[in-house]
Amino acid sequence: MNIWRFHEILLRACAVLAGSWFVHASWHQWRLQPNRLSLLLLMLGEGTVVLLLLISKVPKRRDWHPVSLFCTLVATYYFLAVRLTPGIHLVPESIGVLLQCTGLSWSLYAKWSLRRAFGLLPANRGVVTTGAYRVLRHPIYAGYLFNHLGFLLVSYCWQNLLVYTVLYSVQIIRLRREECILRDDPDYRDYCGHVRFRLIPGVF
């Protein structure tokens, strides 16, 4: 087995184990407080990542640069630092849940558009231009952003604010490095000419 393929499989296996633990911990916390729908939605979002990691294909080319690997590890395991116990409600629960439902629905649609081309490390897994990718270049990240924002607003604490600030700082680096690889593909350069924005239409 190619050594890099082995490393890819190991990276996924560790992410699946950590994600499964988080789903279990979230489920346990939700059973103690079943009125916290925001926690249940956060758990469902991470659960879909675990599922996709089990079925996605391994790309031929991916970015093993230390910066990319560091950002991937932070973005993969960030949830281990999220505080699941109740925090401060900056907005009513219903507003946070609405944001989460919007983000979760959009990320699921984006993942369906991507199919088995989902992965962790920046890579060229084929240029996808259909479904959610007609609107944004990185629609899955956009869905995560709304899901996490909704959870943060109803479970606010300094710890969660710091976790999500770090997470999206590295996500920006991560998506830019992914685009560096994809821009070698003329199909992707053409795609960028049609889809201008990465995460938020009209902003970025």
Q: What average pLDDT does range 5-23 have in this prediction?
A: 88
- How far is Cα 191 from Cα 176, in angstroms, rounded to an integer? 15
Burial state string for 86-106 with b = 16 or more CB within 10 A and e = fewer than 16: ebeeeeebeebbebbbebbeb
CB 100 within 8 A of CB 146: yes
Positive or negative torsion for Cα 35, 36, 41, 43: negative
Positive or negative torsion for Cα 39, 41, 44, 45: negative
- pLDDT tens string 24-36: 999 999 999 888 9
pLDDT band at 10 (very low <50, low <70, confident <90, very high): confident
- pLDDT tens string 82-114: 999 999 999 999 999 999 999 999 999 998 898
Q: What average pLDDT does range 144-152 have in this prediction?
A: 96
**Mutual angle of helices 37-55 and 139-154, in 10-degree steps:** 150
Beta strands in the chain (DSSP E): none
- What pLDDT does 26 receive? 93
Among the CATH numbers 1.10.287, 2.30.30, 2.60.200, 1.20.120, which is that of 3-194? 1.20.120
- How far is Cα 38 from Cα 57, in angstroms, rounded to an integer? 31
Domain boundaries, the chain: 3-194
Greatest C-alpha distance within the chain: 52
- How far is Cα 167 from Cα 164, in angstroms, rounded to an integer? 5
pLDDT band at 158 (very low <50, low <70, confident <90, very high): very high
Question: Strand, helix or coil at 155?
Answer: coil
Q: Is the pLDDT of residue 142 over 80?
A: yes
Which residues does residue 88 pair with via DSSP β-bridges, in sequence order?
156
- pLDDT tens string 55-90: 777 666 678 889 999 999 999 999 999 999 999 999
Q: Is the pLDDT of residue 136 over 90?
A: yes
82: tokens are: 């999220």
Considering only CA atoms, which of 139, 120, 107, 137 is closest in space to residue 64?
Answer: 120
